[in-house]
Structure 1
Amino acid sequence: MSNASVNETEASGTTEQLQQERDLKELLEWFQQNDRLPKEIEPLLLRRFYQCMFGDVEETQKLIEVNYALRNRHPRLFIQRDPLDADSRRTFDYADILPLPGLTPDKYKVSLYCFRDFDATKMHHTEDTRAFFMVSDCRFVTPDDPGNTDILSEGEVQVFDMKGTTMRHISRLTISTLRAYIKFLQLAFPVRLRAIHMINCPSYLDRIVSVVKPFISEEVFKLIRFHTQSIDTLYEFVPRAMLPEEYGGEAGSLESLRTQTQKSLADHRDYLMNPDHWVVVKPEKRNGNSWRFFK
């Protein structure tokens, strides 16, 4: 590459960086002045919204408003929470919700979900979904690459291990929670969903799919890949280096990843429970002294 080409590339990169800085400053000012949003937002989370919309400020604003509107419409999932309370402990005692280290070659972040205990009576769908969103919210304010905070994931890959899943588990799904979860994932997630991998699928997979498919858009359903024969097919999409040892990977044991996730939740407890970051309030028109959740 000639010196002229190098200089043009560097100049282009500098221009894009300056534009991003201006856009993020504009978005932060807009956020702080918008009475349909909370008081505060973490800079890294704001960057994720912006990147998710490919740097389009107007579309970023729409995504942000939908995100917080849905959060406040479902306070049991997004507002009334504590990562150290009894409900959370119960979830994390029987299931793992684990962001995996590193990024795929396509710069995707991968998260793993699996049962540790197959007893269906231990499943509490609403509380479990709340735990999922707490782990996600911690991850969204944590750098994807600690060595280079300028790098953000280009999307989200979810891996669900269905080992131990029975129809008794499916019968314990709460339809309102399932609707809220899928709607948020489809319309309000601050990262783009790139793929969902279902591994260790049971023989009655078709019965399970028939229950949840009516709630999933066709676009999202196309992202689901069912690995019915062997976990080996997962390695085509998720490098072994990112997976736990129990899944033939090199990222450490499930126990070590679990410990890291629980530490992150404890470290971010104040953030997760701080209403300034999540709650939208505005005066009632009929009574200037009263306040309510935004709906």
Structure 2
Amino acid sequence: MAPLPSDSELSPWRVILRFKNADPETATAVIVFRAFLMVLDMLTFSDDSFVINGQEIIVDLKGVPYAYVAQVPPTFLKKVINLAIHSYPSRIKSVYYVSVPAFIQAILNILLSLLPEKLKSRVHMFSEKETVNLHKFVPRSILPEEYGGDAGPFNELSSNSKA
């Protein structure tokens, strides 16, 4: 996980979540979700701009192990969605899924049907070939080099992170 640099005081809080090199045996899907929710808790109470300006989340699914899909039953996903929508005093402005494998795109399409229309319109999916389209939504100046941006390598952003 790496928070992206802010391009203005009013810009939403932006983060990239990556599953590259993820090991579902040591970091199960439940542990990954739990860690993300702990970061949300921390930011909700410590950073006013997180709540006021909203969030944009980029989820890079390149190389995500299929074993994660088997670990997450649909009922669990529905609970996580409800928790994110109804339990946090923040506003999700956009979610961008990049490098989406076909098997996950089918699952995401089903999950989208569970979302309210307003939130559904804020979710964008890009296959690996379409990842360049992310620049239409997120400024190139704040994206890591791996995404065609100018903000430096992902690992450097991640290691400089407070989260």
Q: If the length of structure 2 is used for normalisation, what is the TM-score? A: 0.80
Distance (Å, rounded) in 1 between the aligned partners of 2:51 and 2:153: 25
Distance (Å, rounded) in 1 between the aligned partners of 2:37 and 2:51: 19
Which of 218, 221, 224 is equivalent to 2:120?
A: 221
Q: Taking structure 1 as reference, are residues 200 and 168 closer, same or farther at Cα in structure 2, changes over 3 Å only?
A: same
TM-superposed deviation, 1:119: 4.1
TM-superposed deviation, 1:143: 6.2
The aligned runs of 1:10-29 (5 Å cut-off) are none
RMSD of equivalent CA atoms: 2.8
Larger Rg: 1
- SS in structure 2 at match of 1:232: helix
Unmatched 5+ stretches in structure 1: 1-96, 145-150, 266-295
Is the Cα–Cα contact under 8 Å of residues 57 and 94 in structure 2 kept in the other structure? yes
1:112 aligned onto 2:16:
yes
Which of 182, 185, 210 is equivalent to 2:81?
A: 182
Distance (Å, rounded) in 2 between the aligned partners of 1:176 and 1:215: 11
Moved more, 103-112 or 252-261: 103-112
Is the Cα–Cα contact under 8 Å of residues 246 and 253 in structure 1 kept in the other structure? yes
Q: Taking structure 1 as reference, are residues 252 and 142 closer, same or farther at Cα in structure 2, changes over 3 Å only?
A: farther
TM-superposed deviation, 1:226: 1.2
Which of 232, 235, 248 is equivalent to 2:148?
A: 248
Q: Taking structure 1 as reference, are residues 219 and 130 closer, same or farther at Cα in structure 2, changes over 3 Å only?
A: same
- Specify the code of the residue in structure 2 equivalent to 1:218: E
Deviation digits for residues 134-154 of structure 1, max 9, x if unmatched?
Answer: 22233331365xxxxxx9752
Percent identity over the alignment?
Answer: 23
Q: Taking structure 1 as reference, are residues 163 and 104 closer, same or farther at Cα in structure 2, changes over 3 Å only?
A: farther
Q: Aligned pairs, how many?
A: 161
Unmatched 5+ stretches in structure 2: none
- SS in structure 2 at match of 1:194: strand
The aligned runs of 1:100-249 (5 Å cut-off) are 100-103=4-7, 107-140=11-44, 141-142=46-47, 154-228=53-127, 229-249=129-149
Which of 151, 160, 163 is equivalent to 1:260?
A: 160
- SS in structure 1 at match of 2:59: strand
TM-superposed deviation, 1:176: 4.8
Runs of 4+ with deviation above 6 angstroms: none
Distance (Å, rounded) in 1 between the aligned partners of 2:48 and 2:158: 18
Deviation digits for residues 32-53 of structure 1, max 9, x if unmatched?
Answer: xxxxxxxxxxxxxxxxxxxxxx
